[in-house]
Structure 1
């Protein structure tokens, strides 16, 4: 007995020592893990903040750029809609202008400091004073303002003689924009301007972070290259030598039209990240370790008591351990019930969980369990049990279907422990029945999914091969075997390096190894000489799992051929487009050049003494000429209409008078063919309207012209115009043109609006034309928000109707008798303009007709001008004589006007000389090219005497202002 007690005591001491060792080990592990997690969490917090900073700085940069672009677009719109006569007109016009200015100021209040609007006779500025009142002030000269050229904007509308100067407050703008971004403590915001950092949203007493040279150089290099990014480095606080770690994130941006490079820079001190956040974490950890130590002490005492008790109970625990063993066995499965059977198969007991699993009572299940199983599965289960008993197997497991109380069948799994006596005779079994329906359904669905996937893979046109990590073929999915070098079933188990030809073997091997090492998809492209011909393939190689690699190859031969053909077609189209552009440019010049002389002479004739009949004839000629120019413009720019880039030019005019002016153009053909021509206006037609007068006129000229052309002698043409009001002043104007012509076949109506299409395309057709009229008209109508409809019947004439959107306008005092707004320079006295604005003028022109017209125009204005016939002559004259103004033609022999302008600007006398381009080319790119060459302004032919006079007056005023400054 004494020896037994000593043995028990030594066992207790041994257990205590291991308990102490275990406690100390746990404390060390927890401490190590705490340090590791603290460092990991700190790094994670730093990276998280960097990610937030990256997104914030990009969002801030884009926000500044978008806000500034919105202001600049508003300013462009503002200057393009200024009228030079604003402060020479009624009070209402002035108030409307000032409201518009105030609205723009309110929209961009933080960015704008002062806006100066320059009119021909006035200079007015707008700003908000210290009391937040919107202030307007007139000025005598621009010298009263001090503008910083780098951060201020100047815009000019040369055609109207107006402009604006915008003084910006970028500091206020940046502070306002960046105030929306909260970066947290120990962080600061900066704006990078011309290699300098400017602090933003900084408190008065807050010191500025001073970045060290290496980090500043990184910012300077990346921002200069226009690259966004981030970098870590060090900084010092002012009057402090201690280095602190910092992260800086930057996003460069450009504020067009300013020349400087800007960038948003966010920086944050990351030297103490984690300590402030995780201070409580450390305290909690220390407390936890203390509690753990206390628990270990308590546990030590508890274990000691438990062990003493266990030793006392050990003698009586054999039956309890056996029961515990059986319970452990039965509880290995979940969602089930326990049952007991005798050797003859009779059910003796079942646990109450059978009701939860099957819905039956314990008694019912004991007496009827065999009826709940399918007959074939019952026989199979009995066979398995008998075989297991024969070989003295300890346990069996099987799955089968069992019926529930509601009649539904579920999948169950049984695990049975087979019991034998001392002699090895089977005495019965104890089992667990578990509901595995969910698992069974998942497995079945997985099988179906795998079958579907295999069916999909087998149907794909791609060549799919699966390899092991050594490169040996293990499986394949191939639909078209003609695309293979060898039958796939003969390559199974062979390494691809053993039979693939070069260079495919090397390329695939490299991709194979890279895919295994990096886990990234590798892509290769290769050619193979096959039985069906040479094929081009694109293959992707990637890891399927840790043991397999997949290659998927696709035949891209057709795609490559198509791509090559597409490239050739693209090059051919571009070449054709260039040829078309050159043709249109030459056509524009050749047509506009004689029209310049024609309309110019007409304008000069208007200023001679003519009787009323002559004035009427001349007006018809002038209107017809202007209509022809308008038609020429749109025909030559048909490609622009097709691409949807034609813009609307809205104007206000007297509607009925303008329509009657258009109708009067057709008086000649109406009288010649004795056609009964009539028109009627609806009762709701307003007196004044606003829409694109020229485009509506062109559509009417085309449609009415066609009606008169195809109407026989003595026929009828009637035009009706009606208006429908929509919302407030918005209206839809409906035009209908009826004729008594021969009519149009129904199958030809749809093709009429296609370009270059005519009903009669033969060489002997009665009516000539290009076939572009209705095509252009349809696109112009659609541009104005309407649609064109054509209704016709052979032998009963045709009806062309279309609609356009517009605005009804109340009558204004500024409208002239012809229904058009007064021009801003109506008070120009053309006769002897030389007395008021004396200038030395050089005219550079090679066309005799245009030269004659220009000399007549200059003579009427009172000027004697020098003449040059090409660019070389112009350069020579500028070098040897003094001129105030050069009127330069663009297209000339020997040297054109653009090259001449560039050379003149290199001369000392040509640096400040005003050069105005004259050309029959009216494309925007032509205007841009002329201004880029050094020209100050650009006039499209045919030019009017009013435009020339206006240029002369402006140049004289510029020279006078320059004299006053000097």
Structure 2
């Protein structure tokens, strides 16, 4: 199924890439097609302009030729001539160079080579001239032969046509004022331009050739245009001017001038391009929608499959965890219950009672260790476990580990030795409890999985790093059963255990190595293992620790089994809702020489305290979870009461909640300390000595 999904995904990806390439090619073809159509449109525009100018010129040529014929045929006075001609702006050119209208009005024309040529020509000519006081005109000229009017000889007739009549066709704005047509002479000088056109922004100079050079147009194109203007032939090319694509066409017009059309294709075809893009965008969006839908379908299909597998894995892991923890808890619990039955049946036999009690104590301690492992793992995964940074004695730490493992080593007949330098630095800052927990865990595993007469070695080394920091190295080696390569790949995962004939005989939650790995990581250290089946294992922990001097360490408190005499007879108020737990703690305190008043909830504890005289109670021990009023509420009520001892009496929490935040919560509610259940007699003794005056 997975392979089929990958094949479908690859096929869809290939299809998508093909469509993208097809889209790019289509877009380029459309772009070129639109540009070609615009070029054809400009060609048609130039033809239209040329034809319009030709028709207009022929019209005025005919008119001036007709006027010349009438004048030549009817040589009369000016006043009689006016009645014969219906032409406006008609003037006669005299031999003396003057120019006079049929009404006798004289005008002055600017210099014109075409007028000079008229004297020796027999054809109609045209030019552009400026008439003083009248403006610019497009003039049409026809020669006269042997014409004398009012005793004055004339050699030609001129018809003045407003220059705007010409420029409206020859020099005009095109394509919604984006392009323009210009009248340009042989030298490239722009003779006429439209008054309003965006093209004037690009071609606002005097000489068109110079303008194109300033715009960095290809020199070969400029030279081709220059040659076309000079030789009066057609030129056309496409050029980039200030980021826009322009189509420039030149065609000869008359009397040495040319019409140059300049149109920005990329702008004038903008609406077409926009429409095309809109269609393409719609196609692309539709395609992307289809692809997105397919991707979403694939994603949810895969995710759903992964989610099902994840849920199945979680369920399997949870089931496996519950089975392991249930098995590990039931094993020592079964021992405790069974030993208790033996005690009841052999109450009159001291040897059996002592043996059963000792074994029951060991089973209970193991049961607590399993629960502590589960709690530690939970705190680590929730990010609630904190690493302390206090001074400790490295030599004392190593000796404690050896002492804790001496008895189980002796029971199995193993050789256990500590390998460390004769002289090494003892004072460090760190979490001695967690370092000890890691080493005890590794050594316990080594002892557990090493057959009789084997060897377990704890090695310690230190290497100085920068400044006051050292790299401390702890190595735990054994000659045990070793580990397989498969197990070593995930041995630091929770609930993992190597399977063998030897390990099956030992219980364990499979959390030990996971906890060690997490603790070492939290202390910014590293751990790695080397192992060979049937030859043994080697675990190496490296921790960066800050060095300090031994004199800065707190003096070690020597344990004492006997309490100070002044504590005997002190009265303690105990609040515990569980009858058996209340009885156990009361018996422990009674055995130490204290007088105990027991109550079953926080409300009774507050009432007893408020009804007591000053100094009557030396300490209050309260469980946290109780009915009516819990321990935290009771502590707050006691501290806020009007009793003379409300602020000074020590209040100690007794609770099965052993997290750091539980201890902090107890202190925040006015308590002095927090003792975790089950209560250890040694811890209880220290609290009693510390807080009772």
Q: Are positions 1:317 and 2:135 aligned together? A: yes
Distance 1:936 1:743, change over 3 A: closer
Question: 2-side partners of 1:688 and 1:648: how far apart?
Answer: 18
Equivalent pair of 2:427/2:553 in contact (CA under 8 Å): no
Aligned match for 1:353, one of 204, 208, 212: 208
Structure 2 residue matching 1:665: 3-state secondary structure: helix
After TM superposition, give the deviation of residue 831 of structure 1 in Å.
1.3
The corresponding residue for 1:812 is 551
Equivalent pair of 2:235/2:250 in contact (CA under 8 Å): no
Aligned match for 1:673, one of 412, 416, 435: 412
The corresponding residue for 2:247 is 412
After TM superposition, give the deviation of residue 646 of structure 1 in Å.
1.4
Equivalent pair of 2:232/2:251 in contact (CA under 8 Å): no
Q: Are positions 1:752 and 2:486 aligned together? A: no
Aligned match for 1:653, one of 381, 384, 392: 392
Question: 2-side partners of 1:727 and 1:623: how far apart?
Answer: 45
The corresponding residue for 1:923 is 659
Equivalent pair of 2:178/2:267 in contact (CA under 8 Å): no
Structure 2 residue matching 1:795: 3-state secondary structure: coil
The corresponding residue for 2:530 is 791
Question: 2-side partners of 1:698 and 1:623: how far apart?
Answer: 18
Matches for 1:120-131 after TM superposition, within 5 Å: none
Deviation track 1:337-374 (CA, whole Å, cap 9, x = no partner) reads: 84469xxxxx897644135434227651236786754x
Distance 1:745 1:362, change over 3 A: closer
- For structure 1, the residue ranges without an aligned partner over 5 or more in a row are 1-312, 342-346, 374-400, 420-426, 464-477, 481-553, 595-617, 954-966
The corresponding residue for 1:887 is 621
Question: 1-side partners of 2:375 and 2:530: how far apart?
Answer: 29
- For structure 2, the residue ranges without an aligned partner over 5 or more in a row are 1-130, 139-160, 191-206, 213-220, 337-357
After TM superposition, give the deviation of residue 671 of structure 1 in Å.
2.2
Distance 1:834 1:791, change over 3 A: closer
Question: 1-side partners of 2:293 and 2:438: how far apart?
Answer: 60
Matches for 1:126-525 after TM superposition, within 5 Å: 315-317=133-135, 319=137, 322-323=162-163, 330=171, 332=173, 338-339=182-183, 351=190, 352-357=207-212, 358-360=221-223, 363-366=226-229, 372-373=235-236, 401-402=237-238, 411-413=246-248, 431-434=259-262, 436=264, 439=267, 449-450=277-278, 452-461=280-289
The corresponding residue for 1:948 is 688
Deviation track 1:117-166 (CA, whole Å, cap 9, x = no partner) reads: xxxxxxxxxxxxxxxxxxxxxxxxxxxxxxxxxxxxxxxxxxxxxxxxxx
Question: 2-side partners of 1:937 and 1:920: how far apart?
Answer: 14
Aligned match for 1:831, one of 557, 561, 564: 564
The corresponding residue for 1:544 is none
Distance 1:654 1:414, change over 3 A: same
Aligned match for 1:877, one of 608, 611, 614: 608
Distance 1:451 1:683, change over 3 A: farther
Question: 2-side partners of 1:801 and 1:782: how far apart?
Answer: 13
The corresponding residue for 2:464 is 725
After TM superposition, give the deviation of residue 782 of structure 1 in Å.
0.9
TM-score, normalised to structure 1, is 0.39
Equivalent pair of 2:574/2:582 in contact (CA under 8 Å): no
Distance 1:710 1:728, change over 3 A: same
Deviation track 1:740-799 (CA, whole Å, cap 9, x = no partner) reads: 122211112122222112112899922221111111111111111122212222232222
After TM superposition, give the deviation of residue 916 of structure 1 in Å.
3.4
After TM superposition, give the deviation of residue 724 of structure 1 in Å.
2.5
Distance 1:676 1:925, change over 3 A: closer
Distance 1:428 1:353, change over 3 A: closer
Distance 1:689 1:935, change over 3 A: closer
After TM superposition, give the deviation of residue 432 of structure 1 in Å.
3.3
After TM superposition, give the deviation of residue 939 of structure 1 in Å.
3.9
Equivalent pair of 1:458/1:479 in contact (CA under 8 Å): no
TM-score, normalised to structure 2, is 0.53
Structure 1 residue matching 2:401: 3-state secondary structure: helix
Number of aligned positions between the proteins: 459
Distance 1:865 1:372, change over 3 A: same
Structure 1 residue matching 2:653: 3-state secondary structure: strand
Question: 1-side partners of 2:272 and 2:423: how far apart?
Answer: 76
Equivalent pair of 2:250/2:261 in contact (CA under 8 Å): yes
Distance 1:363 1:909, change over 3 A: closer
After TM superposition, give the deviation of residue 659 of structure 1 in Å.
0.7
After TM superposition, give the deviation of residue 647 of structure 1 in Å.
0.8
Aligned match for 2:646, one of 878, 899, 912: 912
Distance 1:646 1:370, change over 3 A: farther
Deviation track 1:915-954 (CA, whole Å, cap 9, x = no partner) reads: 432223223454466567776764445443222233334x
Distance 1:729 1:903, change over 3 A: closer
Q: Are positions 1:662 and 2:393 aligned together? A: no
Distance 1:444 1:949, change over 3 A: farther
Question: 2-side partners of 1:369 and 1:437: how far apart?
Answer: 25
Question: 2-side partners of 1:739 and 1:892: how far apart?
Answer: 48
Question: 2-side partners of 1:728 and 1:348: how far apart?
Answer: 86
Question: 2-side partners of 1:800 and 1:904: how far apart?
Answer: 52
Deviation track 1:681-725 (CA, whole Å, cap 9, x = no partner) reads: 258942212211111111111111111111121222223222232
CA RMSD of aligned residues (A): 5.5
Structure 1 residue matching 2:508: 3-state secondary structure: coil
Deviation track 1:258-313 (CA, whole Å, cap 9, x = no partner) reads: xxxxxxxxxxxxxxxxxxxxxxxxxxxxxxxxxxxxxxxxxxxxxxxxxxxxxxx9
The structure having more radius of gyration, on CA atoms, is 2
Question: 1-side partners of 2:393 and 2:167: how far apart?
Answer: 104
Q: Are positions 1:642 and 2:381 aligned together? A: yes
